[in-house]
């Protein structure tokens, strides 16, 4: 009899696990709250936000074209059509996952699952009624939800989170983004491109806390032009709804900090201060599964919990909260269930911030090396010396390699610039394969491309990058 598996949560981690299990001949039930597999990523996160970011990029490039002698009239934004475009993208992808699930004969249940034992579930179906599911193994892939600040939680349609902001209720005149992390900057840049005067407040001294400062420095230069104001080392201390004759007209916000502004009123406020794992699963206490102090489900290298028949993957199983990390964990968990020698131990998990310019990194950063007491050498290649970057008028970029000076192995890669997210995969592969700077230097890259900057950064390590004169000190 085929191994029976129930996957709870149908995001990229959950549906990847379910599809892979079906490919290996297992009997799979996939449980999700949406009509088709996709989860937050496809329905309310990664995909709709990238669709809107693409629109923002087109608007920005149209405005920038005047520098090349090509001028367009000011864009007009039809919010209803824009929203419909975003929804079509979501429908196409989720419809595709639904079809693939049927082709793989995965039993998909739309509903909410509760655990009744380490090998059984009860699903409250969205269409009504209940269905009991008995299995050999359970894979928890329940994801995460936007973090809320209790002291700042006011019941107002003018206070948005990352989900409601994607619904594009309107194009406001002003907006405050609370949180200078990747979610706040991505969504803030969308609204700014559509014509909103967006201000950003971040409680730490810099945007994108934890990201490489070299990379963030390049983004800062553009962010200061895109956003109306950026308040660093500043906290929001209070919010209250401003009401007019026809209801709420805005949100009054008070601040504190070194450069804190006076109390201001914004049309909308977007709270984007991170996400929390969805570990409050009904019936979880009936198992031996443990949840740590941060709210993550504890797992081993195979993503098995303290309950031998229960696995956990994705956001609910620990940071980083990234869709591609969840998908990889899903495959590891299924291979472990299948009896294969599998363990989740990547040398690098890439991260991408889809701002403009994009920021991407993998492996260790300079700050990581310093914290770990590692001796490293950093090779930087400025995009101002890249023929492709100059040709597309996007010299606001840099590629850097973190290299072990003794072995010449590449330990980390960081890229900031147009399309950085498309370039980082080469860096991930180099780290995973234990490539050296010589390996990358000797790999012929096509010209003229932005990918060449990775090769020239490797050449820079030896002091003879073709397009930059900076001899290596002997």
The catalytic residues are 447
> What is the sign of the dihedral through the CA atoms of 380, 385, 387 and 390?
positive
Whether 295 contacts 143, CB under 8 Å: no
Angle made by CA atoms 282, 288, 291, in degrees to the nearest 5: 70
Whether 368 contacts 39, CB under 8 Å: no
Measured CA distances, 341 to 4, 76, 270, 360 (Å) = 20, 56, 45, 31
Q: Which helix (H) or strand (E) holds 463?
A: none
- Helix, strand, coil in percent for the chain, rounding step 5: 35, 25, 40
Structure tokens that stand for 260 in this block: 């804190």
Q: Which residues contact 242 (CB under 8 A, 6 or more apart)?
A: 248, 249, 250, 251, 252, 265
Closest by Cα among 2, 8, 40, 38 to 21: 2
Structure tokens that stand for 398 in this block: 């840099």
Whether 323 contacts 13, CB under 8 Å: yes
């Amino acid at each position: 009899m085929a191994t029976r598996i129930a996957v709870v949560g149908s995001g990229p981690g959950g549906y990847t696990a379910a599809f892979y299990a079906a490919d290996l001949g297992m009997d799979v039930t996939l449980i999700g709250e949406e009509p088709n597999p996709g989860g937050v990523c496809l329905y309310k996160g990664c995909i709709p936000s990238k669709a809107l970011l693409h629109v923002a990029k087109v608007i920005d490039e149209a405005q920038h074209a005047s520098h090349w002698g090509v001028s367009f009239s000011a864009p007009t934004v039809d919010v209803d059509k824009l929203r419909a475009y975003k929804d079509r993208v979501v429908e196409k992808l989720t419809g595709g996952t639904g079809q693939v699930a049927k082709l793989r004969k995965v039993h998909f249940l739309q509903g909410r699952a509760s655990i009744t034992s380490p090998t059984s579930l009860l699903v409250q179906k969205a269409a009504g009624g209940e269905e009991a599911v008995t299995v050999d193994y359970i894979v928890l892939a329940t994801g995460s939800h936007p973090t809320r600040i209790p002291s700042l939680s006011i019941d107002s349609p003018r206070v948005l989170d990352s989900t409601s902001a994607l619904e594009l209720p309107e194009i406001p005149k002003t907006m405050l983004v609370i949180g200078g992390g990747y979610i706040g900057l991505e969504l803030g840049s969308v609204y700014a491109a559509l014509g909103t005067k967006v201000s950003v407040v971040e409680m730490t001294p810099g945007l994108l806390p934890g990201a490489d400062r070299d990379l963030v420095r390049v983004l800062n230069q553009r962010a200061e032009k895109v956003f109306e104001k950026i308040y660093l080392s500043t906290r929001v201390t209070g919010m209250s709804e401003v009401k007019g004759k026809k209801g709420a007209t805005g949100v009054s916000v008070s601040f504190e900090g070194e450069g804190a502004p006076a109390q201001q009123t914004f049309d909308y406020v977007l709270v984007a201060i991170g996400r929390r794992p969805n570990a409050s699963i009904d019936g979880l206490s009936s198992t031996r599964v443990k949840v740590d102090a941060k709210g993550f489900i504890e797992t081993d290298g195979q993503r098995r919990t303290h309950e031998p028949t229960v696995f956990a993957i994705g956001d609910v199983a620990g940071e980083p909260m990234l869709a591609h990390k969840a998908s990889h964990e899903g495959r590891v968990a299924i291979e472990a269930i299948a009896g294969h020698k599998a363990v989740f131990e990547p040398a690098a998990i890439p991260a991408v911030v889809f701002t403009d310019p994009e920021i991407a990194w993998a492996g260790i950063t300079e700050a990581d090396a310093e914290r770990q007491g590692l001796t490293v050498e950093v090779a930087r290649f400025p995009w101002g010396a890249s023929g492709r970057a100059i040709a597309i008028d996007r010299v606001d970029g840099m590629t850097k390699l973190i290299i072990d000076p003794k072995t010449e192995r590449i330990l980390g890669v960081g890229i900031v610039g147009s399309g950085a997210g498309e370039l980082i995969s080469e860096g991930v592969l180099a780290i995973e394969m234990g490539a050296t700077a010589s390996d990358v230097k000797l790999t012929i890259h096509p010209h003229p491309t932005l990918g060449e900057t990775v090769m020239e950064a490797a050449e820079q390590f030896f002091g003879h990058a073709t397009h930059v004169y900076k001899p290596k000190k002997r």
